[in-house]
Structure 1
Amino acid sequence: MTLRYLAAVLFLASLDGVHACTVFAVGKKATKDGSVLVSHSDDGDPHNDARLIHVPAADHPAGAQRPIFYTPESFPRYLGSAMGPDYMPSSETTGYPVYEPIGYIDQVKHTFGYQSSSYGVINEHGVAVGESTCGAVFGTCGKNSTVGCEPGRKVGEALMSIDTLSYLAMERTTSSRAAVELMGSLATKYGFYGPPDSFEGSGESLVVADPDEAWAFQILSDPTGTSAIWAAQRLPDDHMTVVANMYTIREVDASDKANFILSPNLFDVAKSKKWWKEGTPFDFTKMYSGGEYAHKYYSGRRMWRGFQMAKPSLSLPADYEDIRYKKVYPWSVQPDRKVDHHDVMSWHRDWYAGTQFDMTKGVQAGPFGSPDRFSTDSKVKGSWERSIALYRTNAVYVQKLQHPSADVPPGLASVAWYGAGPAHYAVFVPVPSGFGATVKALKLANPMKFETSSMNWATRRIMDVCQVNFKAMHETVHASQLDLEKEGDVLIERLRSSKSSAAVLQLAIQEHANKALATWEALSQQLLFSYSDNSRFAENWKAMGYSDEWLEQSGYKDGPPPAPKEDKCPPKCDDEPEPMPATVV
């Protein structure tokens, strides 16, 4: 990456970086089969790189250095040889420069293979992460960058971004606890950056999980811009939690080593700022969060909904004053019933259906009940409600993590279910932790041009088509999603029971992803045909019209009045004229 290109990327990232992501995690005693679940929706801007790319395992010589790159997340998020052959320049990345390191750290003897997106997804040992950007009180710029620096700084010194930390965790750890300890120590030593003037804030949260447990790791820069402040809390095994663009860790207990891992400076910084007095409870969110961004309820409403879906018996308020300063929602809850990966998929597809905030209702949903609220640059000031399902999601994935056993081979024990686009329009396809390749249908996702053979673009097209009549069309989409996802379950169980070889595994996963792609490409055409001209075209050509509710609110009744009655003279006259005399020949 040239310095000029780096500057341009940094500038765009500071303006357009919108990574308003939602993360769920479920402990092993709260799931139907004892697996740990963690998820992530990459709700970025249109420039983001939504490709899923495999990074192979590798051996490294003694004394080797691991290059660190700036991580813009815009396409292409990385280009070069350091992350394996599928990140090398190709016809899809023509015109983009190869990245240059911004620094180095000591390399380890062996690095593990993993699937990568904007963040690490899942490694060969079943360590997985989900990310959510958070507002924070401190922020700084990346090493060598002059964009987004805090006041008093001209050029950045911090080397670690959340993307890089997640990649390093994938490469070097076999457990979530080890991942937290590694990321925390590297951020403390080399500095953590997140531009303070970006939309989404300068802090970050990763939920890191393995087949045994899940941890929430929440981090920000320190005031010097050269280190980091962070805290990690363990999720109880029988609980679930949700993170939605705001820190969630509240009171920490430094003596509880089993459930908390904390940065060495956690208390000292707050004490030096006179925010906290020694001997009193220490609330991480109150001390270091920047609160909600975009608008009130942007984070809290999704937290409320996530807990409500998992535990309907628990009554939580949908309204509040300021969730930074006053705790409204619990750190985690015990679900009313045990859940599985399909439940978490459904949570990511939620638009508050059945609640007072149902986004398919009312005039905002348009005549056909769309839950999508697109961004606007209008001078009219206002905000849309923010649901978990979001039209600008580039990718969403649900990782199901289990230990190998006599019946479950190591490479098939843990599976990332990957959806290439908004969850309510995408189909989740399985990518086992032992799948040592890139899924072809998920590799293409150039936001600057339409690509065939791209699951991401096929999903975007489904979304656009559904705007024609969401209420009618989405029923078909959802049924197709469930069918393909059930087929994915059957495929994974078949591969497990047959103890398939690596070659058979790769072929089967590629074929299933290709089938999903072909189905999605055909589905958009089917929808356009079936509902052409707002009618059930393939059935009876009968127009579907509009709902009475929308007609009442839309001004339909105040439109042009009925046509005037043609009851005047002529032809209706009071004095009928004398009949014309007969013509005499």
Structure 2
Amino acid sequence: MNNTHHQACTTVLVGKKASVDGSVIIARNEDFHEAISVKLFTLMPASEVKNRTYTSKNTGVTVALPEKALRCTSVPQAFQQLKGEEGEYGEAGINEKNIAVSSTESVYGNPRVLAYDPLVPDGIGEDAIHNIVAPFINSARDGVAFLGKLIAQYGSAEGNGILFADADEAWYMEIPCGHYWVAQRIPDDCYAVAPNQVSIEKIDFSNEHDFMWADGIQAFVEAHKLNPDREGFNFRHIFGTSTEKDRVYNTPRAWFAQKYLNPEIEQSPVSNDIPFIRKASRLISVEDVQYILSSHYNETVYDPIGTAGTDYEKTRFRGISLSRTAESHILQLRPDVPEGIAAIQWLAFGTTAFTPYVPFFTNVNDTPKIYKKKTATVSLENAYWLFKILGFLTESRYQTFREANTTYLHEMQTYGFKRVHEITEAGKSLTGEQLTDFLTAENEKTAAYVIKKTKDLIAQLMLESFNYSKLSFKMDKNL
């Protein structure tokens, strides 16, 4: 088994009363352990298959699944054979019942817990979770229960956090060891941030509305004397870690997100006690989530591409947006519109600090051609490579190209919201296959516009770059 695929992600969840428009939002950056991880945006069609099974090419586990699979979007690995990564890693999508799943946020159980419930090398891993869960669930709560049963039967190959959402609820599930897990419903008026560290805190076993858990988890903890607290059941304390690495790699990301959404609260980026869930000081928009997932400690001394900090400060903490971010997604389930146009998958490829989130409706029968085209080598006709090139060029002379990139991102963000409004209004009069065909065509138009604007900016930056060669000298114009 190879479970080194994803070593770090950042997760944001927003309840419906915490968002500016009543949307339920789940979002995550998918970060790879190397700079290149070619991603696609695809559609898994609805199907009925008797005796359906799914076999992971990564762990070898074969999972028995329901006969009927719902149509569902996916963001899989384009070349599963590269660097020994055999799995699909579908990562994120919304099915035809408007149930959103994002999997996974890597988490790590502590040595005490893993000694008594070790990970299962031939169990379920991140590479398979999207494919074996997203097409088969009817609600966010159902998703937690469905995956929980699979983990009980097959075990977990790695520590994972999984996000679920429907029009009413957002849930976060953590599996830090082989078989034991908990899940928490994000309160409607709150948001949550998870930064590769077991995040869920106190579990109320009398509250089945807001919490779910693996059978026998209390007895397991009691039998092995795993609870360090004198009272209560704090999942983070019992199952999670609190190490020097966490305070460099993980907690600072939660600190920055909460600093942005709750600027009135003073916290340390190396605090052991940054809460999982908070109520923001204002209502949260999709733009806010985009900002967090595109951030790199902006306007602080810890910004690695900023000018305020020392060399030590700039490299002290692991940021949210990275050069090895493969893709980032914001799964938005909107209220007050027909179900057929309620679900949107905002998708950014490459380094989110420099690339835009593009809105795609998920009630479709296909995805844009340039987003599903496979090219193993660099190509301007592949969305992933196009955005990777943009990120590289922008960062190569950031202080010079920053203004052009910022202008482009602002234009693309404005265009994205304009498209959502236009398509929503036009789609209200359509139903059934006519609506699905319409949304499919409109997604293609959205992609085409963004791709053209991105190519234009790349051309502009390349032309400007030619002026900065070190093999240059002040020339006499008469020579």
The residue number in structure 1 matching 2:389 is 461
SS in 1 for 2:325: coil
Q: Which runs of 5+ in 2 are unaligned?
A: 76-88, 475-479
Distance 1:35 1:229 in 2: 31
Aligned equivalent of 1:495, options 398, 409, 423: 423
- The residue type paired with residue 459 of structure 1 is F
Contact 2:247 2:269 in 1 (8 A): no
- CA displacement at 1:307 relative to structure 2: 0.8
1:114 CA displacement: 0.9
Corresponding residue for 2:173? 217
1: distance between equivalents of 2:455 and 2:270?
A: 41
Question: Paired residue for 2:283, among 330, 333, 338?
Answer: 338
Whether the aligned pair in 2 keeps the contact of 1:123 and 1:171 (CA below 8 Å) is yes
Kept in 1, the 8 Å contact 2:54–2:132? The answer is no
Q: Which runs of 5+ in 1 are unaligned?
A: 1-9, 73-100, 141-148, 195-202, 223-227, 374-382, 536-540, 542-585
TM-score w.r.t. length of structure 2: 0.85
The alpha-carbon distance between structure 1 residues 507 and 292, as it changes in their structure 2 partners (threshold 3 A), is farther
Q: Is the 8 A contact 2:6 2:30 kept in 1?
A: no
Structure 1 stretch displaced more, 389-398 or 496-505: 496-505
What is the aligned partner in structure 2 of residue 78 from structure 1? Answer: none
Q: Is the 8 A contact 2:56 2:127 kept in 1?
A: no
User: Which of 223, 229, 242 is equivalent to 2:193?
Assistant: 242
Pairs aligned (count) = 448
Partner of 2:95: 123
Alignment pair present for 1:189 and 2:153: yes
RMSD: 3.0
Residues 1:429 and 1:514: Cα distance change in structure 2 (over 3 Å): same
Superposed counterparts of 1:317-356, under 5 Å: 317-320=268-271, 323=272, 328-356=273-301
1:113 aligns with 2:71: yes
1:136 equivalenced with 2:109 (yes/no): yes
Alpha carbons of 1:433 and 1:361: their partners in 2 closer, same or farther (altered >3 Å)?
A: closer
Q: 1:157, CA displacement in angstroms?
A: 6.4
Tell me the residue number matched to 1:59.
48
Asked if 2 retains the 8 angstrom alpha-carbon contact of 1:411 and 1:432, the reply is no
Alignment of 1:464-475 (within 5 A): 464-475=392-403
Corresponding residue SS for 1:317: coil
Counterpart in 2 of 1:24? 12
SS where residue 41 of structure 1 aligns?
strand
Q: Using the alignment, how far apart are the partners of 1:234 and 1:441 within structure 2?
A: 36
Q: How far apart are residue 473 of structure 1 and its match? A: 0.8
Call closer, same or farther: CA 1:24–1:518 in 2, change over 3 Å.
same
Equivalent residue runs for 1:326-405 within 5 Å? 328-362=273-307, 384-403=316-335, 405=336
Three-state SS of the structure 1 residue aligned to 2:248 is coil
Counterpart of 1:37 (choices 25, 30, 40) is 25
Matched, 1:166 2:153: no
Matched-pair contact (CA < 8 Å) for 1:55–1:115: yes
Q: Does 1:443 align with 2:372?
A: yes
Contact kept, 8 Å, 2:112 with 2:226, in 1: the verdict is no
Alpha carbons of structure 1 residues 453 and 293: separation in structure 2 relative to 1, 3 Å: farther
Q: After TM superposition, give the deviation of residue 188 of structure 1 in Å.
A: 0.8
Partner of 1:418: 347
For the structure 1 residues 25 and 363, does the alpha-carbon distance in structure 2 shift closer, same or farther, using more than 3 Å as the test? Answer: closer
1:534–1:365: structure 2 CA closer, same or farther, 3 Å change rule?
farther
- Report the counterpart of residue 202 of structure 2 in structure 1: 251
* Candidates 354, 357, 362, aligned match of 1:428: 357
Alignment TM-score, normalising by the size of structure 1: 0.71
What SS does the aligned partner of 2:385 have? helix
C-alpha change, 1:298 and 1:278, in structure 2 (3 Å) is closer
Tell me if structure 2 keeps the 8 A contact 1:359–1:365: no
What CA distance in whole angstroms lies between the structure 1 residues aligned with 2:157 and 2:112?
6
Pick the aligned partner of 2:212 from 257, 261, 272.
261
List per-residue Cα deviations over 1:280-309 (Å, max 9, x = no partner): 311111111244585632110001111111
Cross-structure match for 1:484: 412
Code of the aligned partner of 1:219: I
Q: Secondary structure of 1:215's match?
A: strand
Cα distance in 1 for residues equivalent to 2:409 and 2:264: 29
What percentage of aligned pairs have identical amino acids?
20
Contact 1:138 1:221 in 2 (8 A): no
